[in-house]
A and B are shown apart, each in its own frame.
Chain A
């Protein structure tokens, strides 16, 4: 009973966050960096919270078929790659239907499978994902920063450069924290709560 209450509360928090993000979408999407570095990660995070609620009720067939979390994480890679395309960002700003697709796909096809599959992945698999993700983030940041032309019709060149810088800074911060975790370890009291929250 207590579990049911708390999961309801979780779902309410997710729904409220989601609704607030939808209502503030014009404001958040007006700036490229805020769109990419605030809105998109929050949508993914809402899916991660949802995963905690769904986990006890996860269909058996999916838990079985999601061997070592591989299919789930492949879905995550596809989902994040899609919404990193300049064209996809543009269409989300210009077309409310595409934005609705983003609002559904980031929580349900990225955050949710990430939350479910991450726990099934062996440490080496997780390390592989981190080791791919961090340089990719930095490389995309470098591309945005270095591009002499605007890649998005809805964003200015200076916004594009700011987004590029922020992606690079996040990549460096993630890389450093990962280095510390791998070589020094988590702080003792957090050892049980290794989670991928905070990743776009």
Chain B
């Protein structure tokens, strides 16, 4: 025989538990933190800190200088044996897709190293040559200020952990910063069709 108070208590726990699970998973759409971040960025594009960077040719530029153009950004370290290769290939194939004509599109590419200690200008240059990158439309860049790097990684939500072999494991994503300078999308580098669609949308100036 059911006791008094059983059904209300059970209903309360079921409703509360379901509500908390729904809240934690964005209504059962995101079960990983990367998925959650993707949803959040698409819902509310993020404003970014204006940081100073230096590219593979030693030229200084500001992140805010890209306003008016769309820029695809990835975060790399040049000694990376794994995902950075995929990210580099993605960008290289994207430049092929627009016929090597990045200058005539409204699209720029930017690879930012989060390992400025090891990645000096020479290292950035070598990394760029490996994938056929040419500044200013595909820059391989580093920050010159530790605080700038920290602010940048925080704004993009990039998580970096040691790989146990002197390198890093890091969030691998292609970030789309729109012409207003806001972080508008976070794409999966393992699904190139999605990326290339984004690149093609930018083909028209």
List A residues at the B interface (Cβ < 8 Å).
61-62, 64-67, 70-71, 74-75, 77-78, 81-82, 85-88, 90-91, 94, 149-157
Q: Is the CB of A156 within 8 A of B32?
A: no
Contacts A74-B13, A74-B14, A75-B13 known; A150 to B169 CB distance under 8 Å? yes
A-B pairs with beta carbons under 8 A, tally: 78
Task: Let me know if B6 and A71 touch, CB within 8 A.
Answer: yes
Closest to A89 in B: B33
B169 near A87 (CB under 8 angstroms)? no
Q: Are A153 and B33 in contact (CB under 8 A)?
A: yes
A interface footprint on B1-32 (CB within 8 Å = 1, 0 otherwise): 01111101110011011101100110000111
Contact A87 B9 (CB under 8 A): no
| Docked-complex contact A75 and B17, CB < 8 angstroms | yes
B contact residues vs A (CB 8 Å cutoff): 2-6, 8-10, 13-14, 16-18, 20-21, 24-25, 30-36, 159, 161, 163-164, 169, 171, 190
- Cβ B5 vs Cβ A64 within 8 A: yes
In the A-B complex, the 4 residue pairs with the closest CB atoms: A65-B5, A78-B17, A90-B33, A67-B6
Q: B34: nearest residue on chain A (CB-CB)? A: A153
User: Complex formed: what's the CA distance from A153 to B37 in Å?
Assistant: 11
A94: B residues at CB distance < 8 A: 33, 159
B5 (CB) vs chain A CBs: closest residue: A65
Taken together as a complex, chains A and B put the C-alpha atoms of A91 and B31 apart, in Å, by 11
Complex CA–CA separation, A85 to B24 (angstroms): 9
A66 CA to B9 CA, complexed, in Å: 8
- In the bound complex, what is the Cα–Cα distance between A61 and B3 (angstroms)? 10
Which residue of chain B has the shortest Cβ distance to A63 in the bound complex? B3
